[in-house]
A = this chain, B = another copy of it.
Amino acid sequence: YNPDQWQHAPEILERDIELMKQAGVTSASIGIFAWTSLEPKEDHYEFAWLDAVMDRFAKEGMYVFLATPSGSKPMWLSEKYPEVRRVNKDGIRDASGWRHNHCLSSPIYRKKTRAINAQLAQRYKNHPALALWHVGNEYSGECHCELCRSAFQDWLKKRYKTLDALNSAWWSSFWNHTFTNWGQIQTTDASIDALQLDWLRFINDQHLSFMLNEMVPLRERTPDVPCMTNFMGTHEGTNYWQWAEHLDIIANDLYPMPADCADSWRYSIQSDFIHSLMRGMSGGKPWMLLECSPSSVNWGKINKLKRPNAHRQEVLQAVANGANTIHYFQWRKGRGGFEKYHGAVVDHEGSNQSRVFQDCAAIGRELNQLSAVYGADCPQAEVAMLYDWESRWALNASQGPKVLAGGGPFKGDLYTKLCFDHYEALTCCGINVDQVSTKSEFSAYKVLILPALYLVTQEMADRIYQFTQGGGQVVATCLTGYVDLSNCCWLGGFPGAGLAELFGIWNEELDNLDDEERVKVMGQFSGFARDIAERIHLRGAKSIAQAGSEFYAGHPLITEHKCEVGHAFYLAARFESAVLVDFYQSLATRFDLSCTLDADLPLGVVFRRRESADKKYGFLFNYTQETHSIDLKEHSFLDFAVSSNCTGKLELKPYETRVLQI
């Protein structure tokens, strides 16, 4: 919500309050890009307009998520202190403009952001409308200035202590890249894959330390006001597992691209996957969907309107995954600027008559109706899946494995696509999954899935082994255990760090397949492998599916190894969905995994639950563009929207969602 853009028209604030009430809005993020409005000249502050907004909100019993304005530097700051502007890989310093382009290391910028944050905290610390700090905005990007280069060198000194240790860890004798003093280290050398990995870690750490620096004056002055920042799902540059430890509440931005085609349901499960990751990070506490568009965005290649039912479905999908708060970007369309056509609750037209406003108001009413649900938790799953930025970074910094074609929220990211493959298959099987990190305690799960655990430390390998000792079932995939902490390959045969023994295999070599190429899969499961296939050998495991084509026809593609009390499964390729669904179906039967709903759900219809001590709620999503009829068998549910009972056959229109009390 950007009232700072409408200071010239005070009647708009009144109109907004009125419309918000109509739409059921009870809180808004304010001030994200308002630095110049708050500090029009260096050290001159103006709060009158914000006072008015805060007071008005308070008067209505509404809440403000007060944002720190670091996401976009004031023009006067960029002009006076060039060091705050980023430098790109070619050494060219950014002109002022755009946003999210401050240097990550500049002492001046850190000082200035602390100062404005201190002012905000001081002024509003006791304000009744202040509910939450919204710290920064979508931290991202990188800077290659001398300050950042020097900070990177310091970061490396701290990590490696000596240059010998760094040279050894980085295998820098390759192509004669041995460093003989710290100052030689550049930020851009793409030929040292360990440097690239450390650079990604550094950038993540630098963003995080920037945010923590921003939070110091807030924590000091308002120890009881929670802090959040808006995540961007699986954004590559930020290991949100680390960030989550420092935040009081998890918040995420998600902009699914409207699609209306035969496999739109896959796109919906992509969103579900990201929500589920947020659920994992929030550790069971409710999280916030902080930004989503009530209609189309304006920055896509082709910006389509959202189809009827689609937006409601997206909102309820977040709620089904544990979100208790849904915010939009944006409340009201600005008259100018890059995002003037970005979807908003209130259009340029300005009334409450638009389709989008009406939709939002209806959703607002419904979210209100659902208040009982917010006290219910998402039940803990029996299956855990690891999502690991470190493996992702190391893999992407390594040259050799196939780079996939882009598109969708995961673009060409092989790592995330492999994770999603398994999430999707489990969802199709009706099996709940919790996403976990390498730091998570996973011993209580029945099954632990490790998609492409490319970077594995000895410690992590040992923990996996212990998990099987405790009777757990481990599922690993191609690209497991290739490298250590420095992106250096494990010697002695993949998967390394002892995982070869755990899985009872030797992974000899990796074949990359052309986009249209498929390798036949035969045996206990059948279908096709694509993109990547490993030639593995049995060293104790048994093969439960084999290649049925290519020169490695007959070689194992899926193996099973009894290891201690549990079992270890290795899936030596990227598989098409059908193979994975069959595989997880068989696991469910064998290890008695429970289903979210005891009913036959067609592909693209998904059921999710939230449960409190005494109540159970279900969300039934039709993610497809077809109408489906679901046989509820003996179940009888209460449909919230219509306050009527559902039994027998339940019809779901395209993109329809039912919220049910079970």
Which B residues touch A354, using CB under 8 A?
508-509
A205 to B170, CA, bound (A): 36
From A69, A334, A349, name the one whose CB has the most chain B CB atoms within 10 angstroms: A349
Please provide the chain A residues from 68 to 110 with a CB less than 8 Å away from any CB of chain B in the complex. 69, 71-76, 78-79, 90-92, 95-99
Which B residues touch A35, using CB under 8 A?
176
Please pick, from B184, B191, B489, B492, the residue contacting A99 in the complex, using a CB distance under 8 A: B191
Nearest-CB residue, chain B, relative to A38: B176
In the bound complex, do residue B349 and residue A494 qualify as a contact, i.e. CB atoms below 8 Å apart?
yes
Nearest-CB residue, chain B, relative to A297: B400
Assess A337 versus B171: contact at CB under 8 Å? Given A97-B188, A308-B551, A349-B508.
Answer: yes
Please pick, from B97, B175, B510, the residue contacting A72 in the complex, using a CB distance under 8 A: B175
Q: Convert A165-198 into 0s and 1s, putting 1 for each residue whose CB lies closer than 8 angstroms to a CB of B.
A: 0001011111111111101101011111110000
In the bound complex, do residue A76 and residue B180 qualify as a contact, i.e. CB atoms below 8 Å apart?
yes
In the bound complex, do residue A302 and residue B513 qualify as a contact, i.e. CB atoms below 8 Å apart?
yes
Nearest-CB residue, chain B, relative to A338: B191
In the bound complex, do residue B5 and residue A173 qualify as a contact, i.e. CB atoms below 8 Å apart?
yes
A355: CB under 8 A from chain B? Answer: yes
In the bound complex, do residue A176 and residue B34 qualify as a contact, i.e. CB atoms below 8 Å apart?
yes
A62 to B348, CA, bound (A): 62
Give, as a whole number of angstroms, the nearest-CB distance from A81 to chain B: 13
Q: Which 10 residue pairs are nearest across A and B when measured between Cβ atoms?
A: A171-B336, A174-B337, A97-B189, A341-B400, A298-B400, A72-B176, A335-B488, A349-B493, A33-B176, A75-B184
In the bound complex, do residue A74 and residue B178 qualify as a contact, i.e. CB atoms below 8 Å apart?
yes
Nearest-CB residue, chain B, relative to A295: B509
How many copies altogether? 3
Residue total for A at the interface (Cβ-Cβ under 8 A): 107
A619: CB under 8 A from chain B? Answer: no
A356: CB under 8 A from chain B? Answer: yes
A513 to B307, CA, bound (A): 13
Which B residues touch A515, using CB under 8 A?
302
A535: CB under 8 A from chain B? Answer: yes
In the bound complex, do residue B193 and residue A337 qualify as a contact, i.e. CB atoms below 8 Å apart?
yes
The A contact surface, by secondary structure, is loop
Give, as a whole number of angstroms, the nearest-CB distance from A578 to chain B: 24
In the bound complex, do residue A69 and residue B295 qualify as a contact, i.e. CB atoms below 8 Å apart?
no
In the bound complex, do residue B176 and residue A509 qualify as a contact, i.e. CB atoms below 8 Å apart?
no
Assess A509 versus B307: contact at CB under 8 Å? Given A184-B76, A188-B97, A190-B338.
Answer: no
24 A-B pairs whose Cβ atoms sit less than 8 Å apart in the complex: A2-B173, A5-B171, A40-B180, A72-B176, A73-B176, A74-B180, A76-B184, A95-B189, A97-B177, A171-B334, A172-B336, A174-B338, A191-B338, A192-B336, A193-B336, A296-B512, A298-B399, A298-B400, A302-B512, A338-B399, A340-B489, A341-B398, A347-B508, A348-B494
Nearest-CB residue, chain B, relative to A40: B180
Assess A180 versus B41: contact at CB under 8 Å? Given A170-B336, A190-B98, A494-B349.
Answer: yes
Nearest-CB residue, chain B, relative to A179: B75
A636 to B190, CA, bound (A): 56
A339: CB under 8 A from chain B? Answer: yes
Which B residues touch A4, using CB under 8 A?
173
A193 to B335, CA, bound (A): 10
A522 to B568, CA, bound (A): 61
Nearest-CB residue, chain B, relative to A356: B509
A36: CB under 8 A from chain B? Answer: yes
A486: CB under 8 A from chain B? Answer: yes
Give, as a whole number of angstroms, the nearest-CB distance from A497 to chain B: 13
A245: CB under 8 A from chain B? Answer: no
Which B residues touch A190, using CB under 8 A?
97-98, 338
In the bound complex, do residue A511 and residue B336 qualify as a contact, i.e. CB atoms below 8 Å apart?
no
A490: CB under 8 A from chain B? Answer: yes
Nearest-CB residue, chain B, relative to A302: B512
